[in-house]
Homo-oligomer: A and B are copies of this chain.
């Protein structure tokens, strides 16, 4: 496995991963009918940095890092991670999250925040806890899940700068 910064050309391989996850509507706050061009803006342009994780030369996952709030909040970053369905359970999310925490410190951030974790996404929540994140907030019925209806979303947070 190799993690490297994404290039513009990588988005053709990122898009199928993004599209599968966004169109399912179960984990990410993107419109389920998001277009490739909109997705490119959100994932590649708006963030400060975007990375891909390769396995045998194929892109199997991706993450972004960006400033979560400006001004008095600009020492806290936000990240989002996506793993191709065929590559799950192999530690790619863990590898990307650990990589992102190192990069965050290098970029000058002191903390990392996940703003909107669907409370049904138990695998992710378990993983973030294992990697040192704390659930610091619970937004009642803030996530409209396609099967479960209005469910809570969690805010998770980790201070990185020990």
| Interface residues, chain A, with chain B CB atoms under 8 Å away | 22, 25-26, 28-32, 34, 69-76, 110-111, 113, 115-116, 118, 136-146, 150, 153, 155, 157, 159
* Contact A140 B144, CB 8 Å, known A70-B31, A71-B29, A118-B72: no
Which of B69, B118, B144 is close to A142, meaning CB atoms less than 8 Å apart? B69
* Contact A144 B30, CB 8 Å, known A113-B139, A137-B139, A139-B113: no
Minimum CB–CB distance from A80 to chain B (whole Å) comes to 12
A144 pairs with B25, CB closer than 8 A: no
Which of B111, B137, B143, B145 is close to A138, meaning CB atoms less than 8 Å apart? B137
A157 pairs with B140, CB closer than 8 A: yes
B72 pairs with A25, CB closer than 8 A: yes
| Chain B residues positioned under 8 Å from A29 (CB to CB) | 69-74
A25 pairs with B142, CB closer than 8 A: no
Minimum CB–CB distance from A144 to chain B (whole Å) comes to 5
A/B interface sample: 15 pairs, CB < 8 A: A29-B69, A29-B71, A30-B70, A31-B70, A31-B71, A73-B142, A76-B142, A110-B141, A111-B140, A111-B141, A111-B142, A136-B140, A137-B137, A142-B157, A155-B155
Residue of B nearest to A76 (CB): B142
| Chain B residues positioned under 8 Å from A26 (CB to CB) | 72
B22 pairs with A144, CB closer than 8 A: no
Minimum CB–CB distance from A59 to chain B (whole Å) comes to 23
